[in-house]
Amino acid sequence: MYVALQPMPIKKIAITEFIQSAIHGTILDARSPGEYKHAQIPGAISLPLFTDEERKIVGTVYKQESRQSAIKLGLDFFGVKMKSMVEAVEKIIADKNSAEGQETKETLYVHCWRGGMRSAAVAWLLDMYGFDVCVLNGGYKAYRNWALRQFEKEYNFKIIGGYTGSGKTQLLQQLQRNNKFVIDLEGIAGHKGSAFGGIGLPEQPTQEMFENMLALELNKKEGQVFYIEDESQRIGRLNIPHSFWNTMRTKPVYFLEIPFDERLKFITKEYGVLDKEKIKEAILRIQKRLGPLETKTAIQHLEEDNYTGCFDLLLKYYDKLYLKGLNNRENIALLLNKIECSAVDTISNVEKLQLCATVNI
């Protein structure tokens, strides 16, 4: 008697299992290019079932006609892409094996917006071809909900404080080299924080993408003691999620006390190489808060290539701004730990920071 073999159903995994395993594997995003460009799960590779225009057309048919009509239309779009999609995945795996220097059986983690028809179609194709495939239950929406929950949690971290020009980012980098856990908010945001912080850098990610990346970093550090730089809630055009920002305001601050002249030398060296017109544009963006006389003087110094004079004015402005933010904390007297430093010396200042942080556990 002939018995028809039933294909095994493709495994669906919940977001908690996905975070534990898939985040280190090959994640394939079946959403449209526009959805992917706006924000994605960190590390995901775009493998769109539909183009942006095709998605729009299928969605319109779904709403105006029926689910069945939309599926038939989707199959027309999907059918001609099957071979190229399989070949694209083969190349992704081959490139990964080449980079890692070994060939392994790779599990593919597929998702779309809600874990619906798009991820099901892509997973069916790849499974039929012979790949090991899992689908994220709930899709990208499940990841977003998970990401937002991370900002509500309690974490054990220490904040590195200090006026502008204290070399806080360099300290974070050195701490990481010392095998300490760190989260670089400015690195994730793609911006150094001030009006001048985006000069010479690529465009910042979207707010949603910033949150996606930050949530994953927080999850990796959960249960660990880590360091983070003191920031205003806004980094360029992005905002630190409000609930996590509130948590930051309750954590101990290790404030680097570095003389003004030393910070001025550091900031002049770091920012003095930037495009002069971009610096001028940044000064004009803060002119209402900087004041008309200070704005005019700063620009005059800049045009005369007197970068020290220009940044002297700007540094004094940012010192006042930072001091206001520092003191706008409850129990600041209990949270603040001052560390006397003679210069912007990364190695020496990291040693002092770690000693102070150890004493004040």
Q: Catalytic amino acids?
A: 112
Q: Is 161 helix (H, G, I), strand (E, B) or coil?
A: strand
Distance CA 144, CA 213 (A): 11
Distance CA 340, CA 319 (A): 17
What's the burial of 262, exposed, middle or buried (CB within 10 Å: 0-12/13-18/19+)? Answer: middle
DSSP of 201-238: SPPPPPHHHHHHHHHHHHHHHTTSEEEEE---SEETTE
| 264 touches 171 (CB < 8 A) | no
The residues with which 162 forms a beta bridge, in sequence order, are 256
Which residues touch 126 (CB under 8 Å, ≥6 apart)?
Answer: 28, 85, 86, 89, 108, 110, 133
Which residues touch 122 (CB under 8 Å, ≥6 apart)?
Answer: 28, 30, 47, 49, 85, 110, 112
List, in sequence order, the alpha helices (H) in the chain: 15-21, 33-38, 52-64, 67-79, 82-100, 117-129, 139-150, 168-177, 185-189, 207-221, 242-248, 260-271, 276-285, 287-290, 292-303, 307-327, 332-335, 346-359
